[in-house]
């Protein structure tokens, strides 16, 4: 990695993991790495790290010279101040985990550094933001796209890693990169699940014991939908009914949607003739759960 530049803070003696707080510091380090011909893999996160995040780190370590993780709970992608306040935060623990994974740098800016009072630029993907979670989280994907675009300019990654768990977010980033000809490869990584199937999420720590038990029903409902397609069901309305009924019967999850969508455009499908995305979201207690599964045409 060469000498540690003076503007970074090596936080551990045995391994100089850089902790950067200021956008321009991050960019300066990224430029020096780019000049020295090192490839950077980048994982944007909101922290409270779990095995899902670490699978992305692992993929980046395997595919690049250097790995940068950002930890930034982005206020621009929360619709309510309460949800933002309640989001689990644990920077000290996250840094220890990332040091253990030999990540070269962590970028953890304050909100005001990323979005000062006079910030006004938006990045909006009209169609892709209109489906699935879009109507339930107005402004959310604008906040996501803006922060990811800004982070790309600060970290200058050759590759950036995103989880399929947040499938709509992944599609929005892929499309933004395509539309704006950004020079970064987006690598999609499979959803990492708990033993019972629940998709890992930082928000799961906010579930009570009973809510945690019921939360897995969202994934089970998607599984029922997938099974029906594999049995030959082609009518999306029938699949949605199966998924909704599973959630209502076996849990107290308040469903926002259970949808059958085109995996690229995210448009709702009426008939399933090729690949499909089954996606669902709902609320239990204070926690919003989302999950999805893919059904490939060679399976159907
Ligand atoms: P977050 O911290 O929730 O914003 O997530 C940061 C990145 O980790 C995003 O690309 C997520 O899609 C990804 N991620 C979160 N949970 C999982 C999971 N269970 N499996 C795989 N990737 C995940």
Encode pLDDT of 174-191 as tens digits. Answer: 999 999 999 999 999 999
> What pLDDT does 300 receive?
54
Residue 132 Cβ < 6 Å to ligand 1: no
78 and 115 Cβ atoms separated by less than 8 Å: no
Q: 140-155 and 167-179 are packed helices; what angle lies between their axes, rounded to 10 degrees?
A: 60
Residue 105 Cβ < 6 Å to ligand 1: no
The protein residue whose alpha carbon is closest to atom 6 in ligand 1 is 45
- CB-CB neighbours of 221 under 10 Å: 28
51, two tokens: 């095995």
For residue 199, which atom of ligand 1 is closest to its CA?
19
Strands 276-284 and 9-10: unpaired
Q: Which residues of the chain have pLDDT under 50?
A: 1-7, 9, 12-13
Say whether 53 is catalytic.
yes
CA angle 192, 198, 200 (to 5 degrees): 45
Phi-psi region of 133 (alpha: psi -120 to 50; beta: other; left: phi over 0): alpha
Burial class (CB in 10 A: 0-12, 13-18, 19+), 270: exposed
Integer CA distances (angstroms), 249 to 184, 218, 227, 244, 276, in order: 44, 11, 18, 9, 24
For ligand 1, mutation pick of 166, 198, 202 (most atoms within 8 Å of CB) = 166
Handedness of CA 189, 191, 194, 195 (dihedral sign): negative
Ligand 1 center to residue 94 CA distance, Å? 14
Residue 53 Cβ < 6 Å to ligand 1: yes
Query: Is this prediction's pTM over 0.85?
Result: yes
Question: 138-173, pLDDT tens digit by residue?
Answer: 999 999 999 999 999 999 999 999 999 999 999 999
> What pLDDT does 225 receive?
98
| SS3 label, residue 161 | strand
The CA distance from 121 to 110, in Å, is 18
CA angle 168, 223, 291 (to 5 degrees): 25
The CA distance from 165 to 162, in Å, is 9
Element (H, E) at 292: strand 287-295
Residue 240 Cβ < 6 Å to ligand 1: no
């Amino acid at each position: 990695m060469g000498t540690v530049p003076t503007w970074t803070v090596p936080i551990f003696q045995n391994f100089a993991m850089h902790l950067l707080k200021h956008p321009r510091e991050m960019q300066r380090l990224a430029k020096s790495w780019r000049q020295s011909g090192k490839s950077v893999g980048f994982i944007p996160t909101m922290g409270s790290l779990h095995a899902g995040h670490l699978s992305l780190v692992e993929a980046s370590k395997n595919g690049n010279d250097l790995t940068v993780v950002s930890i930034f709970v982005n206020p621009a992608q929360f619709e309510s101040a309460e949800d933002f306040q309640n989001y689990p935060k644990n920077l000290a623990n996250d840094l220890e985990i990332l040091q253990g994974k030999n990540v070269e740098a962590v970028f953890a800016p304050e909100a005001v550094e990323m979005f000062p009072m006079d910030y006004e630029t938006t990045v909006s993907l009209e169609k892709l933001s209109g489906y699935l979670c879009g109507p339930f989280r107005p402004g959310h994907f604008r906040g996501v796209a803006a922060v990811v675009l800004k982070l790309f300019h600060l970290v200058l990654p050759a590759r950036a890693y995103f989880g399929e768990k947040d499938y709509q977010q992944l599609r929005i980033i892929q499309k933004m990169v395509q539309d704006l000809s950004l020079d970064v490869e987006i690598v999609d990584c499979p959803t990492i699940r708990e033993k019972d199937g629940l998709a890992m999420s930082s928000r799961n720590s906010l579930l009570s014991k009973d809510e945690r038990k019921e939360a897995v029903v969202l994934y089970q409902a998607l599984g029922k939908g997938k099974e029906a397609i594999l049995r030959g069901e082609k009518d999306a309305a029938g699949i949605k009914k199966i998924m909704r009924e599973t959630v209502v019967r076996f849990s107290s999850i308040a469903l926002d949607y259970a949808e059958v969508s085109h995996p690229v455009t995210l448009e709702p499908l009426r008939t399933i003739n090729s690949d499909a995305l089954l996606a669902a979201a709902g609320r239990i207690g204070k926690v919003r759960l989302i999950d999805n599964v893919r059904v490939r045409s060679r399976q159907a």
